[in-house]
A and B are shown apart, each in its own frame.
Chain A
Amino acid sequence: MFSRILVAIEMSKAGRHVFETALALAKATGANLKVLHVLCPDEEGCPDTSGLLGTYYYPGTDDEATEHGQIGWEQYSQKCLERLRSLVQIATTEGVQAEFAQPSGKPSQTICEEARNWEADLIVIGQRGLSGWEKALLGSVSSYVIQNAPCSVLADQSPIRARSVPAKV
């Protein structure tokens, strides 16, 4: 049985597909759902946060850069929170008990940690569909999660399939 499903999403379109898979599973099995988005500067769509590192040479520029970075990060974080709220709303309308969380950190480790803390019995995660060099350089979040998760892991390929195969009519 699944009673607690943790779905880790990205803010991209792929994230929506993964969410839908998890929602359908939760609905079918009567499980609770937790939608997790890990805030991470490496994610596609995240504004430039290099100003936060304080590596600029001139003190004046540095302050400005820091402020700029902070504002960008704050706005991005808010935008993602709104998205999470709307997803939880969708789940609730479908009759699934749902909540969300948005910690910041390294996605792979944060997902496993969250699964442990929330005592998830299933993690649903998307695959970026990288291969070869891309995978070697960027690392595969799903591979890490599968090897280190405390529970079962569903690596959802629906985003990749949706990209390559025309949808069934």
Chain B
Amino acid sequence: MFYKILVAIDQLDLGEQLMEKAITIAKPIDAQLMLLNVASPFYSGYPDPPVYPMVDSIYQEANQTILERYEQEVEAVNQHGLELLRSQQAIATQAGVKTEITQSFGDPGHVICDVARNWQADLIIIGRRGLSGWKEMILGSVSNYVIHHAPCSVLTVQPLLQSTPEAPHIAQVHHH
């Protein structure tokens, strides 16, 4: 059974769903949770680095300002991630599930698998962005990476909006 469950919290709106599933599984068997947020430059929302910090520029002041502003932006993203983690942790704790949080920086797929290995997770819970075709080929699928590289079982949660479209009706041809 799954006694150590790693929840890969993401910035998407799936957070609540992931937590709900995690608590559903963890609570009856007294499992513990680890909530992980990966701050990744590959996610939208992460500040773009200053394009060309001119180290040898004569305008040292301007350069400094740009770098400082960038640092502040990164700091804000990290802070936002931590707040997200803490709020989800509160939900789990309130439900009576022992929960830890952690935040790291890097390629989400790699980081998730690394943390799972180090913490010796039995199960990873992860959301699907629901990309397909070209988008998935270019952006890559974090969940797909995790499924094939994880050291343990993986529960993928589908995005809520993905309602299954009804098969199109085939118009019947009437012969007269």
- A interface list, Cβ under 8 A from B: 1-2, 21, 24-25, 28-29, 116, 127, 131, 142-143, 146-147, 149-158, 161
Contact = CB atoms under 8 A, between A and B. Distances in A.
A25 B31 CA distance: 12
Given A1-B24, A24-B1, A146 B29 contact: no
B131 to A, nearest CB: 10
Contacts of B153: 21, 154-158
B20 interface: yes
B155 interface: yes
A156 B7 CA distance: 16
Interface residues of B, number: 24
B144 A153 contact: no
A134 to B, nearest CB: 13
A147 B131 CA distance: 9
Contacts of B154: 154-155, 157
A152 B152 contact: no
B158 A152 contact: yes
B132 A147 contact: yes
Nearest to A140: B148
Nearest to B127: A152
B157 interface: yes
B85 interface: no
A21 B1 CA distance: 7
Contact of B29 (A28, A150, A156): A28
Which are the 8 A-B pairs with shortest beta-carbon distances? A28-B28, A154-B155, A157-B153, A152-B157, A156-B153, A150-B164, A155-B154, A24-B1
B150 interface: yes
A8 B150 CA distance: 21
Nearest to B18: A152
Interface string B35-47: 0000000000000
A155 B144 contact: no
A151 B17 CA distance: 12
